[in-house]
Chain A
C-alpha cells in the first residue's frame, strides 16, 4: 500500500489535516525543516507547491510565495531533492506535489515520475491539467505508483465526476468555492451537499480546501469530509514570520487547527 492509502486507512475516524506550503519559500534552505514542523503540528499529508512563473489559479498570497521561491531559482528538480531530504527522517508522511503542468512537461512525464518516486513523492496535483488532457500523464504516474490528485470544483457537473474517478488515486480535493486560492467565504452547507454527491461517484477520501482559515471552519468542513486542506493561511504566516521563524510559526498554527479537528 502506498503512503497516501495507508495514511487514510490508519486515521481510524480522525480527519486528515493537509497543509500546503510552497517549496523554496521563504528560501530553499528552510523547506525541509518546515515540512517536519508541519508533521509535528499534526499534518497527515503534505502538499508541497512547485513554484511556477504563471500561477493562474492562485491568489496574491501564493503568487508571492512562488515569486519568492523563483527568486532563489527553485525548479522542479530542486523540489524533488527537498522531498528526498525530508524522506531521510520521515518515511511515513505522504507528500503530494502541487503545481502547474509545464514544469512537469519540461522534465518529461516518464522521467518526472521515475525521479519523483525515487525521491519519495506520493502524488501529483497539476492544477491546469484536467482529466481530458491527462491520459499520458496518468499512465506515467500510475506506472510509478504515484497518485494523480484531482480538483473538483463547485462548477463541476456530476457527469464529469466519473471521468475524474477514472484517473484519480489517493484522494480527491474539492475546491470549496469559485475563485483563486486565498479567497474567503465558504458555505459549509453547500460543501456538505457537494461532498455527498461526489461520494456517489468517487470511492476515494475527499479533502476540502480553499477558504479555510481557522480551526472553527476546519472543524465544520471536517465534519462533512475526510480531510481539510489549508494553504493560503499558512503561506501568509510564512510571509509574516520573522527570519528563521517560519517552521516554528507553522507548527504552532497547525497545532491549533489540529486541536480543533480532534476536539
Chain B
C-alpha cells in the first residue's frame, strides 16, 4: 500500500473532489479549511470532542457477533459495528457534533443542514439544542412524507424543517436548498453537511469525524477474535458511514473494503441510486465524483426504498478508492435490502435502518462464498425505528 495522505491541499483525491462552488462561498470554505486545520490537532478541541462522544453519544459503540444470522447465511461469521446504538440512532451524530463544535469556536449561532432519511437532520437538531444554536433543516418534500417520525423529532428538538419542493424533492434538492441558504446567510451561518461529499474541506472533515467508527473497530476486532476482519461492509449514500469505517482500514492489508449502493429496482432498470456501480464522473454539489447523469450532463432522478441512499452522487474519496481498486463497490436491490431488514429483526432482535440493511444484504450474499472461519464486519449505521412506517406500508399495513 502506498502512503495515503489525501486530499491534497486543494481538496483533491486524485482527479476527484475539489471546490466547485459559486464564488460567494469560496471565502467561507477557505475560512472553514483554515479553522479546521487549526483545531484538528488542538488538544482542547479533541478532548471536548472525545468527551461528547463518550458521555453524550455513548461511545465506543460495541461490536456484536451475529451468530444466528451467520448460521442462517451459512459461511463467514458476521459481526456488526453497532452505530445504531448511538444517541439519535445512527452514525450521523459523530459528524454533527464535530462540526457543531467547530461552529461554536467560529462564533456561528445559526446552523443549517440537509437531510434525506432525517437522521442527519435529527443529529443536527440535537446538537443545536445541546449547544443552544438556531437550526434550520432542509428536507425534500418526498422525504418529509417518507420519514414522518424524524420530521416530528426534529421539531421537538426545536429545529425548523423546510420541505423542499424543487426537482425530485429528495436529498439532492435539499442539498441545493441548503447551499442557497448558505450563500445568502454566509456570515452568520455554519453549514453542517451530513455526508462525506460536497466541496473541500467537507469530504475530509466529515471523514475525520466519522473515522472513529473504523478506529474503534481496529481495536475491538483484535480484542474479540484476535485479528482484523477479512472484509468490512458498509452502505454508501453520500458515503460517510462507509468512509468512517474504511478510512482507518485503508493501510491494513488483507482487509477488503466493500461499499454497497442502493440498487433500487435493479441496476438494469436504470431505477436505482448507484453512481459508483453504474454512473460516470462529473461535477455536482461542489466536487467531481461519480454521478448519475444523462448524456447531456443533467442529473438523473434516483430511486431507492431508503431515503438516506437516494442520492445521485457520492463522496469523492469513494470515487478515488474505486479507481485505484482499494475498495469494491456493489449494489443490492430494494427487495434484497428488505429481506435483510427482516432477517436481522428475526434472527438477532435488532431492527436495522433500511440504509444499513443494504450492507447486511450484501454481507448475506458474501458470507456463503467464504469459509466459516472468515469474518465480515458490517457497519450497522443506524436503527430502523424511523423506517417502520415505510416497511409497514410496503406490506400494505397502515400504522
Contacts and interface: CB of A to CB of B under 8 A. Distances in A.
B184 interface: yes
A155 B297 contact: no
A156 B23 contact: yes
A155 B282 CA distance: 27
A204 interface: no
A204 to B, nearest CB: 15
A116 interface: no
Given A76-B296, A106-B282, A178-B183, A156 B27 contact: yes
Contact of B297 (A76, A152, A175): A76
Contacts of B297: 52, 75-76, 102-107
Nearest to A180: B180
A153 interface: yes
Contacts of A59: 180
B282 to A, nearest CB: 5
- By size class, the interface of chain A is 35 or more
Chain B residues touching A, majority SS: mixed
B361 interface: no
Contacts of B21: 56, 128, 130
Contacts of B26: 130, 132, 153, 155-156, 160
Interface string A134-162: 00000000000000001111111100100
B391 interface: no
B291 A102 contact: yes
B330 interface: no
A183 interface: yes
A63 B166 contact: yes
Contact of B18 (A133, A155, A179): A133
Contacts of A129: 20, 283
Contact of B298 (A52, A130, A156): A52
A260 to B, nearest CB: 27
B122 to A, nearest CB: 24
Which range holds the interface residue count of chain B?
35 or more
Interface string B275-301: 000000011111000010101111100
Contact of B183 (A57, A102, A157): A57
B172 interface: yes
Contacts of A250: none
Contacts of B179: 56-57
A76 B10 CA distance: 29
Q: Could you say which of B173, B179, B185, B297 has the most chain A C-beta atoms within 10 Å of its C-beta?
A: B297
Nearest to B12: A133
A60 B18 CA distance: 27
A55 interface: yes
Contacts of B298: 52-53, 70, 75, 102-103
A81 interface: no
Contacts of B1: none
A223 interface: no
A186 interface: no
Interface in B174-215: 176, 179-180, 183-187
B28 interface: yes
A194 interface: no
Contacts of B187: 178
Q: Shortest 4 CB-CB distances between A and B: which pairs?
A: A106-B297, A75-B296, A103-B297, A153-B24
9 contacts: A54-B167, A54-B176, A70-B298, A75-B298, A103-B297, A105-B297, A132-B19, A153-B22, A179-B184
